[in-house]
Amino acid sequence: MKDAAFDPTAHVAHMETMMGLTIEEAWRPVVIGHMTAIAKAAEMVMGFDLPDDIEPAGVFEA
Amino acid sequence: MSLLFDPSLGTATEIADAVRSGTASASDIARTALDRIAAMNPVLNAFTDVTAERALAKAEAVDAARARGEALPPLAGVPFAVKNLFDIEGLPTRAGSKINRERTPAVHDATLVARLDAAGAVLLGGLNMGEYAYDFTGQNAHDGNARNPHDTRRMTGGSSGGSGGAVASGMVPLALGSDTNGSIRVPSSFCGLFGLKPTYGRLSRAGTFPFVASFDHLGPMARSTADLALAFDICQGPDPLDPHLARRPVTPTMPELGKALDGLRFGILGDHFKRNGHPEAFAAVDVVARALGATREVVLPEAARARAAAFVIAAAEGAALHLDRVRSRPQDFDPDTRDRFIAGAMIPAAWVIKAQKVRRWFKDRAAEVFADHDILIAPATPCFAPTQDQKTLVLDGVEMMLRPNMGIFTQPLSCIGLPVATVPIWLDGAALPIGVQIVAAPWREDLALRVSAALEGMGVAKSIVAEVMA
């Protein structure tokens, strides 16, 4: 699965430009660390098989 | 000052009774609370704004109403304070940030502040919090760190850190906080308080600064279950100002508190909730389970995955909310939150939408578990309050970043909006408290509070006013 090859450093560098963000070099390792943590969580989410007809909880009532 | 009882040790219910009976005046109580804040706040850093003039005027109005022989409302003369993401008329709603201080002062109180005020409570001010609520520590680069009254070298937990410190130190008996991923339950655990995160959509969010629309909840923190129930009952009700509020009937919880627990079906959450913690987290669960006679372990399937979904959604929605500010003035953020918002702004849409599907799937599994259970029991935090300088945490032999992982047990539950009462446990010989989550099915805050009250009545759960060296 392609997500397994997710490169947080490259992603942060790309999205920094795309989103018009400023990352000072002192912050960069921390931002990459957070991106890595998010990607790890996303791997669990994306790796979970769900039927197509599961509705997203965009409008949610408990 | 000659008060017949010390209001700093009293619960909201006791203070209201004292004012109603004339044992104490609301004005004396307000002045005592203001004195206590003046003495303790330099140490604890719980308050960021003290609304002394408003408090004294309100207290005088309560005393005048009593002098006229009027019936007093249920919270008459009770001091309270709110996390500074609640609008307070006349103050900019800072939400723990530097940037928001430039906002124009709020024209109205937030709905829940107005409801407590209308019930006679006396607002004493706004409380410290982690910047924009993206926090589990109670630390803040702009206002300084909130300190735990039980040990000022330690964290209060966050993001409702000032709420935890203010109530645990007896500055106020009651505070409001917000909980997106655990921000009421974590400081309640670390500061030894009773806390209620109601069902998602139960209480109006109008007039509060948001963080993650999918998960934001508001709720009370106090030193007794009765105070939580009283405040919760007052705060319920429809509000045209909050389009996201669920259309549910008001469910009074106060009448339920004294009822016996016979017939309630308890489950101790296993799997994810039995791992990833220090011994004290599980010992506290054991104490509660024994007291309730709960022996059956039950699994909420894929709780870790639900937490991962909440993690992704929170990062993305929080970042989207703050994108313009993160772009235009990143230097004005607390570095600890800024770097997370920057990363959150880079999340692919497919991850978020899939996470919302996981959330829906997990909600359905939880409903199946609640078909056979009324109450689920779980740790609130993986450990006692960490020291202020602690940056990492070792869980099951793995060292991880402390800041995002304090919510390891709270996050899967708020992900699907379940109501949770956190109860404070003092283990034998322990110098610090730790919380246990009493989790009910959606809209059954009455059951969670009934169990909380029973544990309090048995002396198993208790909240004590910390002795702070001011």
What single DSSP character describes residue B129?
-
pLDDT value of residue B1: 39
Q: State in Å, rounded, how far the first CA of chain B is from the last one.
A: 19
ipTM: 0.91
Give residue for tokens 């007896």: B170
Contact A35 B340 (CB under 8 A): no
d(CA B306, CA B272): 11
Q: Are the CB atoms for B393 and B382 separated by under 8 Å?
A: yes
Smallest Cα–Cα separation from B108: which of B121, B99, B98, B118? B118
CA distances from B418 to B181, B254, B285 (A): 12, 19, 19
d(CA B36, CA B54): 17
B2 catalytic residue (yes or no):
no
Q: Which phi and psi (to 5°) does residue B364 adopt?
A: -65, -35
Residue of B nearest to A9 (CA): B343
Find the catalytic residue in B25, B159, B160, B224: B159
Q: Tell me the whole-structure pTM to 2 decimals.
A: 0.96
**Residue partners of B89: CB distance under 8 A and separation at least 6:** B105, B106, B107, B108, B109
Shortest alpha-carbon distance between residue A44 and chain B (Å): 6
Residue of B nearest to A11 (CA): B346
Q: Are the CB atoms for B231 and B12 separated by under 8 Å?
A: yes
Contact A44 B305 (CB under 8 A): yes
Contact A42 B351 (CB under 8 A): yes
B253-258, Cβ contacts within 8 angstroms, sequence gap of 24 or more: B253/B229, B253/B445, B253/B446, B253/B449, B253/B450, B254/B226, B254/B229, B254/B230, B256/B229, B256/B446, B256/B447, B256/B449, B256/B450, B257/B225, B257/B226, B257/B229, B257/B449, B257/B450, B257/B453, B258/B453
d(CA A33, CA A42): 14
d(CA B71, CA B66): 7
- The two beta strands, B217-222 and B174-179, are antiparallel
Question: Using a CB-CB distance cutoff of 8 angstroms, which residues of chain A are in contact with residue B199?
Answer: 62
Contact A45 B308 (CB under 8 A): yes
Question: Using a CB-CB distance cutoff of 8 angstroms, which residues of chain B are in contact with residue A42?
Answer: 308, 312, 347-348, 351, 355
**Residue partners of B364: CB distance under 8 A and separation at least 6:** none
Contact A57 B360 (CB under 8 A): yes
Contact A34 B305 (CB under 8 A): no
Of B361, B401, B443, the CB nearest to A54: B361
Question: Based on C-alpha coordinates, what's the Rg of chain A?
Answer: 15
Cβ of B118: how many Cβ atoms within 10 Å? 12
Residue of B nearest to A3 (CA): B351
Q: Are the CB atoms for B301 and B273 separated by under 8 Å?
A: no
Helix axes B26-44, B52-67, angle to 10 degrees: 160
Q: Which two tokens stand for residue B306?
A: 């639900």
A59 to chain B, any CB pair closer than 8 A? The answer is no
Q: Are the CB atoms for B207 and B240 separated by under 8 Å?
A: no
Of B305, B356, B418, the CB nearest to A48: B305
B463 catalytic residue (yes or no):
no
pLDDT value of residue B446: 98
Furthest CA-CA distance within chain A: 44
Smallest Cα–Cα separation from B366: which of B405, B404, B408, B419? B419
d(CA B188, CA B165): 9
Instruction: Output the tens digit of pLDDT for each of chain B's 470 residues.
Output: 344 567 778 999 999 999 999 999 999 999 999 999 999 999 999 999 999 999 999 999 999 999 999 999 999 999 999 999 999 999 999 999 999 999 999 999 999 999 999 999 999 999 999 999 999 999 999 999 999 999 999 999 999 999 999 999 999 999 999 999 999 999 999 999 999 999 999 999 999 999 999 999 999 999 999 999 999 999 999 999 998 899 999 999 999 999 999 999 999 999 999 999 999 999 999 999 999 999 999 999 999 999 999 999 999 999 999 999 999 999 999 999 999 999 999 999 999 999 999 999 999 999 999 999 999 999 999 999 999 999 999 999 999 889 889 999 999 999 999 999 999 999 999 999 999 999 999 999 999 999 999 999 999 999 999 998 65
H or E element: which one contains B196? strand B194-197
Q: State in Å, rounded, how far the first CA of chain A is from the last one.
A: 33
A6 to chain B, any CB pair closer than 8 A? The answer is no
Residue of A nearest to B418 (CA): A62
Of B312, B363, B418, the CB nearest to A42: B312
Provide the number of CB pairs (under 8 Å) joining chain A to chain B: 120
Q: Are the CB atoms for B229 and B253 separated by under 8 Å?
A: yes
Question: Using a CB-CB distance cutoff of 8 angstroms, which residues of chain A are in contact with residue B214?
Answer: 57, 60
HSE, CB side, 13 Å, CA atoms: give it for residue B313.
Answer: 30
Question: Using a CB-CB distance cutoff of 8 angstroms, which residues of chain A are in contact with residue B362?
Answer: none
Q: Are the CB atoms for B138 and B167 separated by under 8 Å?
A: no
B83 catalytic residue (yes or no):
yes
H or E element: which one contains B222? strand B217-222
Smallest Cα–Cα separation from B49: which of B218, B152, B158, B166? B166
Find the catalytic residue in B163, B183, B188, B463: B183
Question: Using a CB-CB distance cutoff of 8 angstroms, which residues of chain B are in contact with residue A34?
Answer: 315, 339-340, 342-344
d(CA B439, CA B189): 15
- The two beta strands, B217-222 and B392-395, are unpaired
